[in-house]
Chains A and B, each alone.
Chain A
Amino acid sequence: MSANEKSIVIKGGTVINRDGSVIADVLVIGGVIAEVGENLNGDLVLGATGCFVSSGFVDLHTHLREPGKEEAETILTGSHAAAKGGYTAVVAMPNTDPSQDSVAVVQFVRERGRISGFCDVEPSGCITIGRHGQQLVPFADLAAQGVRIFTDDGRGVQDENVMRAALEISGLIGITLAQHCEVESRTDGAVMHEGECCSAMGVPGWPSIAEEEMLRRDIELVRQTGAPMHFLHLSTQGSVDLVRSAKAEGLAVTAEVTPHHLALIDELLSGFDSVFKVNPPLRRPSDIEALKQGLIDGTIDAVATDHAPHAPHTKEQPLDEAPPGMLGLETALAVVNTALSLDPRRIVEVMSWNPARIAGIADRHGRPIAVGEPAHLAVWDTTTVWQVSKNNLASKSKNTPYHGMEVRGRVRHTLFGGKVVVEEGKLIS
């Protein structure tokens, strides 16, 4: 009998499905859910009393850094971090080196993810070659490799004509474009949110309007082309308002927010600590409130980590030279759950069901907990209080902004394809 055929039972948890929650045991055999019911037995028993059992989380926004920056993260170490965070699928952002603008690189990333075996690694594609914002990538060739989401993340596509051309093609071949909204002429050298704190610190500011202007432009392009579009890491109150009215109009737009934009404010940078430098930047409490409201009322569809590992020596540079980005995979659930009180069903919606749909992988992820479904599962609670330590992370880098912070809610077990990859919070290799 192979390991896959060993039966696993997740015992005593609250199973969350779209049509309701029920306390039940979940039996997994051969990578699929064999039974959901009471008093089930298996070769391996995973305790889930007091926990929720849901489809595994799906991250729309993960920087795995391979190929090119293996000093910061590899697909293997990033997959470890994902599994510890309850993720069974991650969308790998394309700003690698070389960037994910060709079939060869996309195949490489997917294959490395498969070999790693801790979660599905779904490569995104660039919108433009080298993310230079000029020449479109061969969308159809990449789509044939299973790429469903395309973005120049880290940069927004500045040229409106290029973006419009990309949307016309994407609408035809059924892929989704995702925009990093940033008008670069307004953010030259920007270090943090343009506000009083930035003004006193004497660093270049990243004004909210730089995000909102591109968002407004792209909503207009969606209106004109009818192609769907996803907006990455919303960070401002104005952005939430723009997406809300676009949705009210019936436009095919979706949006995500990161845990850190729900939890952290710009003043954390007042000590010039680059661990808090991120793009888009941490903003004001009023922005946080608007983002929370957007996540609650459905304006924002998904929580996405923007997990961005950086090697210590790069973050140790002066604030203006240090690269933006922070770790997110292993703390996402806890940070979101600590920042705001979401109904557990809404947590699953924004961390699994919706991102699976936006990523175009809803045939495999974000599935019901039902007989015959693939066993990509997360077992987690919203009550355990723990202290984040940069020294206890599976990621190869240590740039977590939550080091030393107490958070509430933890991932207890993760099953990927019926294999236990995390048990009692520990990686199972």
Chain B
Amino acid sequence: MKHLLSTVDLSTQDIVEMLETADHMAEINSRPQPKVPALRGKTIASVFFEDSTRTRLSFETSAKRLSAEVLTFIASSSSVNKGESLRDTVETLTAMGVDAFVIRHKSSGTALQITQWTDAAVINAGDGWHQHPTQALLDAFTITRSFGEKSTMQGRTIAIVGDIKHSRVARSNIDVFTRLGAKVIVVAPDSLLPHPMEQWPVEVCGHIDDVVAKVDVLYMLRMQRERMGTASIPDVAQYNKQFALTPERAELMAPHALLMHPGPMNRGVEMQVDPSDVPGSRILQQVTNGIAVRMAVLFSILGNGSSAVLQGGQA
């Protein structure tokens, strides 16, 4: 695998193998000194044109645990402010000797786009509304491992609630979840659904109350505050009435059901319940698993193909 641009580029077998590699990484992370020399000598540029807390730190932590060097590029403090183009930025970093780009950008398609300007590997850390493949992998890891599975979500029903239209997480997760056998229900007002979506492999539901008691996973998306009070969400109170997770609704979840959220959460908006009060919450586990999964992705792309190096001692 040269790049990770979209979940669509991964075969189902690739996904299953990536999750297995992540199991190895999780084991490394459980050690007293969670670091291996697997990517020693490799340089990874972490290039974020859009704000991020967990994804950037997660990738950088993953890289460091594999002993790679990390160059951190934050657009807001870079020559982008002097008008430097995306191409020039990528070519400049490439000239410094970078083995992989981890890129986050507000525009859909940018991860694919920059592959034409660099020989380095490109890992999509979120592009516009399009894709966020490592999020889908870490979510699949979290769900399968929570249910004691290795390679399937067969028989599971997952509701994804919130702004589907503008969500790269939804697009990536729906692809991965359904290919692993899950049934996905999207729960959103019409104005927050993409149009058309006849070809999406999902059911559509207009009210969280219709799904909350019957799903195995309740996956809440962040309500993007900037969309409130616009044509997308004319009435926030009405939205919350139909789509927010309240303590009362959380009570209705099946005992085995998981509560997930990609973060950052909007407490008091879509998350009116404190997730620490929900026994099935995996929201912090998602963050922990994110490190293992991103280590697996970096290793799969930049490693020498032998997993023996993962068994090695401290770096």
Contact = CB atoms under 8 A, between A and B. Distances in A.
A44 B130 CA distance: 59
Contacts of B166: 202
Nearest to A197: B199
B196 A196 contact: yes
A205 B166 CA distance: 12
Interface stretch (B103-111, B145-153, B293-301): B103-111
Nearest to B130: A202
Interface in B192-226: 194-200
Contacts of A272: 108-110, 112-113
B168 to A, nearest CB: 6
B168 A202 contact: yes
Contacts of A194: 195-196
A315 to B, nearest CB: 11
A272 B116 CA distance: 12
B59 interface: no
Interface string A190-213: 000011100111110101000000
B267 to A, nearest CB: 26
Contact of B108 (A195, A196, A203, A207): A203
Given A316-B87, A317-B86, A202 B131 contact: yes
Given A203-B128, A317-B85, A196 B109 contact: no
Nearest to B170: A202
Contacts of A168: none
Interface stretch (A143-151, A241-249, A318-326): A318-326
A203 B112 contact: no
B129 interface: yes
B171 interface: yes
A272 B168 CA distance: 15
B85 A203 contact: no
A199 B197 contact: yes
B87 A202 contact: no
A202 B129 contact: yes
Interface string A302-340: 000000000001001111110000000000000000000
Given A202-B108, A313-B85, A321-B107, A196 B198 contact: yes
A271 B112 contact: yes
A202 B171 contact: yes
- Chain A contact-residue range equals 10 to 19
Contacts of B196: 194-196, 199
A404 to B, nearest CB: 15
B128 A320 contact: yes
Which residue among A202, A319, A320 has the maximum number of chain B CB atoms within 10 Å of its CB? Answer: A202
Contacts of B85: 313, 316-317
Contacts of B194: 199, 202
B86 to A, nearest CB: 7
Interface in A28-48: none
Interface in B113-143: 113, 128-131
B129 A203 contact: yes
Contact of A318 (B110, B129, B131, B171): B110
A245 to B, nearest CB: 26
Contacts of A207: 195
Given A272-B109, A316-B85, A318-B110, A202 B200 contact: no
Contact of B105 (A195, A200, A313, A318): A318
A319 B107 contact: yes
A203 B200 CA distance: 15
A319 B128 CA distance: 11
Contacts of B168: 202
Given A316-B85, A316-B87, A201 B200 contact: no
Nearest to A191: B108
Which residue among A195, A203, A207 has the maximum number of chain B CB atoms within 10 Å of its CB? Answer: A203
B266 to A, nearest CB: 21
Nearest to B111: A272
23 contacts: A195-B196, A196-B197, A196-B198, A196-B199, A199-B196, A202-B129, A202-B131, A203-B108, A203-B128, A203-B129, A203-B130, A205-B195, A271-B112, A272-B113, A313-B87, A316-B87, A317-B85, A318-B105, A318-B113, A319-B107, A319-B113, A320-B108, A321-B107
Given A195-B196, A320-B108, 18 more contacts: A194-B195, A196-B196, A196-B197, A199-B197, A199-B199, A200-B200, A201-B130, A202-B166, A205-B195, A272-B109, A272-B110, A272-B113, A316-B86, A317-B85, A317-B86, A318-B109, A319-B107, A320-B128
List the 8 closest pairs (A to B, CB-CB), nearest first: A272-B109, A202-B129, A318-B107, A202-B130, A199-B194, A202-B108, A196-B199, A320-B107
Interface of B: 85-87, 105, 107-110, 112-113, 128-131, 166, 168, 171, 194-200
Interface of A: 194-196, 199-203, 205, 207, 271-272, 313, 316-321
